[in-house]
Amino acid sequence: MPARQSGPSRPAILFVCLGNICRSPLAEGAFRARATAAGLDVMADSAGTGDWHVGHPPDPRAQAVARANGVDISGLRARQVRLDDFTRFSHIFAADHANLGNLRRLAPDPSPAELALLLDLVKGRQGQAVADPYYGDAQDFARSWAEVDAAAQALVARLLNH
Ligand code: 4NP
């Protein structure tokens, strides 16, 4: 983890899921909000390993749960992971094991960016996935929000302590 919080080597965080319309934009929104509240200068983005939703705004259910928690993610647009993400970002967090596996296959070896599961950041949740809420309901989106927000809080604490 880099120690600096500003300048060219400030932490650069990429959140990755499958479609980039549910979990990773929620994680980006939660992290931006938590970082801003903590006065932390970071670069954050999100992307999907799949390309089906490129250019689309976050799923309306994701927008709704973020809005209910005071975070506006309506301006985000989905994009697919690119090779230069592994050099542009210092840390890449995947929502689940399938996406982490796909990132590892895409990444240069060794990867310049640290690759990990998003819930590895959360005490007691290491090695676990943020379940895909796409085929679920509002309760599933609420759980996704709680999980990515816990990770966002833990990441901000970790960055502040370095
Ligand atoms: P996400 O959710 O990976 O959290 O953005 C999904 C969004 C779309 C699809 C799957 C998961 N899909 O199959 O289109």
pLDDT grade, residue 122 (50/70/90)?
very high
Query: How far, rounded to the nearest angstrom, does the alpha carbon of residue 4 sit from its chain's CA centroid?
Result: 20
The CATH code of domain 12-160 reads 3.40.50.2300
Residue 70 Cα to ligand 1 midpoint, Å, equals: 23
- Residue nearest ligand 1's atom 10 by CA: 19
Of all residues in the chain, the percent with pLDDT exceeding 70 is 94
Domain boundaries, the chain: 12-160
Q: Report d(CA 134, CA 42) in Å as an integer.
A: 28
CA distance 58 to 26: 8
Q: Which residue has the tokens 């309760």?
A: 139
The protein residue with its alpha carbon nearest to ligand 1, atom 6, reads 19
Cα separation, 121 vs 62, in Å, equals 21
Instruction: Say whether pLDDT at 5 is over 70.
Output: no
For residue 9, the model assigns a pLDDT of 66
Q: Does the Cβ of 20 fall within 6 Å of ligand 1?
A: yes
**Ligand 1, pocket-test mutation among 22, 52, 54, 100, most atoms within 8 A of CB:** 22
Those residues with Cβ within 8 angstroms of residue 116's Cβ, 6 or more apart along the chain or in another chain: 91, 92, 93, 94, 100
pLDDT digits (tens, 9 = 90+) for 105-115: 999 999 999 99
pLDDT tens string 126-155: 999 999 999 999 999 999 999 999 999 999
Q: How confident is the model at residue 4, as a pLDDT?
A: 37
| pLDDT over 70 at 3, yes or no | no
* CA 86/CA 107 separation, integer angstroms: 6
